[in-house]
Amino acid sequence: MHKALITAFLLAAAPLASLQAQAGDFYLYPGFSDRDALVEMTADKGLMIEIVLRCSREGNKVSAGIMTYSKIERLYCSSRNYCTRDAEKAADDTCGY
């Protein structure tokens, strides 16, 4: 039964994968224009969005963290594998607050 479900999922996901391969990644850099922005960069990679956070700044030294957002599951996941629907909780877990 599991093998049939996995095969059906892969066959259904194949058209999505080909569309994703044709589309380029999309990047935004809000931290470039705002020195105090929490979000340094976002990278839209199709079904997932990678979010680079600026956790702290001491002069020119920046402490960063990476979290993700799943468009399908609508979950934010921290770099410590804590997934939630609340972006702030995932960001806090990523930065160690």
Residues 9-49: tens digit of each pLDDT:
434 444 544 444 455 677 888 888 887 788 888 999 889 99
Q: Report whether 80 contacts 90 (CB < 8 A).
A: no
Phi then psi for residue 63, to 5 deg, are: -100, 125
**CA-CA distance, 38 to 85, in Å (whole number)?**
18
| DSSP letter string, 27-59 | EE-HHHH-TT-SEEEEEE-SSEEEEEEEEEEET
Q: Structure pTM?
A: 0.68
Q: Report whether 51 contacts 42 (CB < 8 A).
A: yes
Residues 76-89: tens digit of each pLDDT:
999 999 999 999 99
